[in-house]
Amino acid sequence: DTGVSQNPRHKITKRGQNVTFRCDPISEHNRLYWYRQTLGQGPEFLTYFQNEAQLEKSRLLSDRFSAERPKGSFSTLEIQRTEQGDSAMYLCASRLRGRTSGDVTGELFFGEGSRLTVL
């Protein structure tokens, strides 16, 4: 079963370092999402791609965060100059958007997440 895959699962880094997370979505899914989840909270939207185009970014996504999805397949989320407040679980999800504009019913399929700890 080729579900959504995220790497690394855990990352411990020192404040000020850069980190990169990778997400491999379900192959036929054209939409890919990044969420952040902190303890006791639900997933918070960061950004999403339709194919290779980044269509929306949340205000949560500061200038230190950048996401890419080259060729519309896997995606990377990079955090530069990490801060302790960046410590969280970073979740990737993919979704198949329908062919018609009215088809909004596809659910999100989540990976197991990448947990970041900034010391």
Neighbours of 39 (CB within 10 A): 7
Minimum CB distance to another protein, residue 3 (Å): 9
Stretch in the footprint of another protein (CB under 8 A) among 13-21, 41-49, 59-67, 76-84: 41-49
Minimum CB distance to another protein, residue 81 (Å): 27
In the complex with another protein, the residue whose CB is nearer, 53 or 104, is 104
In the complex with another protein, the residue whose CB is nearer, 74 or 109, is 109
Q: Work out whether 53 is an interface residue with another protein (CB under 8 A).
A: no
The number of CA neighbours under 13 Å toward the Cβ of 109 is 20
In the complex with another protein, the residue whose CB is nearer, 46 or 79, is 46
Q: Work out whether 40 is an interface residue with another protein (CB under 8 A).
A: yes
| Length of the chain measured in residues | 119
DSSP letters along 69-80, please?
Answer: -GGGS-EEEEE-
Output helix, strand, coil percentages for the chain, rounded to the nearest 5.
Answer: 5, 45, 50
| Residue 20: strand pairing partners | 78
Closest CA to 117 of 25, 19, 2: 19
By the criterion CB under 8 A, which residues form the site for another protein?
A: 4, 6, 33, 40-45, 48, 56, 91, 93, 97, 104-105, 107-113, 115
